Structure 1
Amino acid sequence: MLKLHPQYIASLQTAERLPELFPLVQNAIELEHSTIPPYLTAMFSIKPNTEGSIWNILHSIVIEEMLHMTIASNILNALGGQPKIDLPNFVPEYPSPLPMGIGDGLRVNLEKLTKDVVKNTFMVIEEPEDPLEFPIKKMDLFAAGVPVEYSTIGEFYEALKQKIDEIAPDELPGDPEKQVTSGFFDKSVLFPILTKQDAINAIDIIVEQGEGTSTSPIDFEGEIAHYYRFEEIYVGRALVKDDSVETGYSFSGEEITFDPANIQPLFPNTKASMLAPGSEERRRIDEFNAAYASLLKGLHDTFNGHPEKLNNTIGIMFDIKLLGEKLCATVFPGKPGYTIGPSFDYQK
């Protein structure tokens, strides 16, 4: 389970004005984005036309992470803030902890798909919170000599929801013209955030799509939450409803096969600087990073007054997919047995 430094919960709990929430919601945008490069890298490492069930699971999760990033940006705009995306420090320097001071020692790599990566990275990122094991910390835990106990992403979003409910007016002050919607996403999950109840409902969508609910692996749309989709890959079976067991669900659905021979041998945490300037390999990774930069700029523009740009920006994802798969099939010069992985290097 990802654990955030308790200072973020404390900052939410002590906030008295909406502007105090701006940097914290910006942190949430950065966190939602930071999962996309590692998930995409694993997806790109699958050789074309193989491992279809796993590719579909990864692709569906990436799309929903883009949705969560959009929702968080809508919330920040609704509160009166300004999402900042096209900046060097927006992109983690992988291998890296994820944003907001992750406190469990997890460092996320850009690496090929393996069951170990699914279990020990992706499932850790999406793991639901256990309220009994990870309660919301009280302010008195910051007293001298008290060990730091970390909080969960779910607790962060719950504290954000409570604070918006406490201090925000019923009609939020942000410019409604900056709210982003798209036919790419259903109106039930991506809608204009105009009131504090809209913001509360939107936060519930982010949490339930990632973790499910406290009693079910299914989110409000009736779909399996991210954590359990990753677990499907790990255990090799689909999670389905099963009335014969107390939990109501079991991993007894169709088999989800995984053949490591269908995975490209990416060199982990590839950087463009590892490849010779002027070489064909460097040109390919530079093309990929240029497309990624276009995506970030497009998202920045979309969330800062040009919501009509979202569909075109999402279209860049198809370019990134083609360039990423081509890159992952390219032999890494000087590193026998490896191919080149996407680097997601920031470019202005």
Structure 2
Amino acid sequence: MIRLKPELLELGDHSFEFRLKALKHKLQVAIELEHSTIPPYLYALYSIKTEQNLEIAHLIKSVVKQEMLHMSLDCNVLNAIGGHPKIDSPHFIPDYPGHLPGTVEDSLIVPLAALSKQLVLDVFMVIEEPEQTVDGVDPPPDGITIGQFYDHIKIEISALSRMGNIFTGAHEKQLVTGFPELQDKGVTDEASALAAIDMIIEQGEGSHISPLDPEHELAHYYKYAEVYYGRKLIANPAPHVPVPPWVFEGHRIEFDACGIYPVISNPNSKSYMANPRLADLNLTFNRAYSDMLRKLHKVFNGHPDQLALALLSMQGLRQQAQLMMALEVVPGQTAGPTFDYIPA
């Protein structure tokens, strides 16, 4: 039973329960937000031909891995306050092209498209943009950032924690394996919940003074900026000069357009109606992706020990996608998976 502090009883049980329900909903949206970035990032990653653009592929892989971690952290927070993550659902996978969940960057339309520098600049860097950068190139305001979205969640967690104990969820549902950042950790109180969300923000955006996250890796925004600018981000070698403390003047990151499959943008099931082989390959991919989501649903609803099975399912997706990406669907363009939900 949740008990309100006496000085806050005048707010009423209904107000407390209503706000707690709203917080659970917002955390579900956060899970969907983190996932919504994964298909576009994977589509671009899969469009890189084998053994081509290796440094860029590594950067994108590292971002995808952390997006999976962020989903896990959101699920841990939601489970900690007695919620139930919903991942095995046809509504969990967004439509592409489309908006990000939670009205984040609400003017941005996110596509499934082959990797290009323009895609990185116009979409990936906008998704991950901080309120303020450390490279002297502040992005223009364009709706709320992911960091601002999470700031609202942090405020509500703290406000509700002052009203009573909201951390009533079963600790057995906490995922504390699979990612180094989760080892022997879990969300049990306000402090650990806020720390989990801070990790999400810092890994995506960095901080106002550094592009590095707490694990000393570049935040997602700057990883994608390295791809766009074609240079590693380094500390300014001339800090006494009135220029940004970090500059894109490190070693070159080569982008070879010939090492990218010319995949179509935003495919859907109708794209392959005239090609039974591509339709079958697309169905196979979608079944595998949907099966991975079902496994993740189990992981975050009482079976955290099954994470390895879910990650194993994900590892096979690249090969399936690239089977499609090697086949023309129209002259000069190859096919790509649609990331549709297929019921079990």
The two structures have a TM-score, normalised by structure 1, of 0.86
Match of 1:204 in 2: 198
Following TM superposition, the consecutive aligned residue runs of length 4 or more in structure 1 with deviations greater than 6 angstroms are: 131-135
Preserved CA contact (<8 Å) 1:218 1:225: yes
Q: Which amino acid aligns with 1:116?
A: Q
Aligned residue runs from structure 1 range 87-106, under 5 A:
87-102=89-104, 104-106=106-108
Match of 1:119 in 2: 121
Per-residue CA deviation, residues 58-112 of structure 1 (Å, 9 max, x unaligned), is 0000000010011001110001111011111111111101111345421111010
Q: CA deviation at 1:150?
A: 4.0
Match of 1:31 in 2: 33
SS of aligned partner of 2:103: coil
Match of 1:239 in 2: 233
Alpha-carbon distance between aligned partners in 2 of 1:171 and 1:79, rounded to the nearest angstrom:
5
> What are structure 2's unaligned runs of at least 5 residues?
1-14
Aligned residue runs from structure 1 range 229-308, under 5 A:
229-245=223-239, 246-276=243-273, 279-308=276-305
SS of aligned partner of 2:99: coil
Q: CA deviation at 1:344?
A: 0.2
* Correspondence 1:175 to 2:147: no
Preserved CA contact (<8 Å) 1:189 1:205: no
Per-residue CA deviation, residues 245-295 of structure 1 (Å, 9 max, x unaligned), is 353322122210001111101111112332137822111111110110011
> What are structure 1's unaligned runs of at least 5 residues?
1-13, 136-148
Moved more, 223-232 or 150-159: 150-159
Call closer, same or farther: CA 1:327–1:191 in 2, change over 3 Å: farther
**Aligned residue pair count:** 319
Quick one: which of 64, 81, 84 aligns to 1:82? Answer: 84
Match of 1:8 in 2: none
Per-residue CA deviation, residues 115-168 of structure 1 (Å, 9 max, x unaligned), is 000000000000001499999xxxxxxxxxxxxx94332122112112212212
Q: CA deviation at 1:188?
A: 5.5
Q: CA deviation at 1:199?
A: 0.3
Note the aligned Cα RMSD (angstroms). 2.3
Call closer, same or farther: CA 1:133–1:275 in 2, change over 3 Å: closer
Alpha-carbon distance between aligned partners in 2 of 1:316 and 1:87, rounded to the nearest angstrom:
18
What is the percentage of aligned positions where both structures have the same residue? 40
Alpha-carbon distance between aligned partners in 1 of 2:274 and 2:79, rounded to the nearest angstrom:
41
Match of 1:158 in 2: 151
SS of aligned partner of 1:172: coil
Match of 2:10 in 1: none
Preserved CA contact (<8 Å) 1:54 1:233: yes
Match of 1:319 in 2: 316
Alpha-carbon distance between aligned partners in 2 of 1:297 and 1:155, rounded to the nearest angstrom:
30
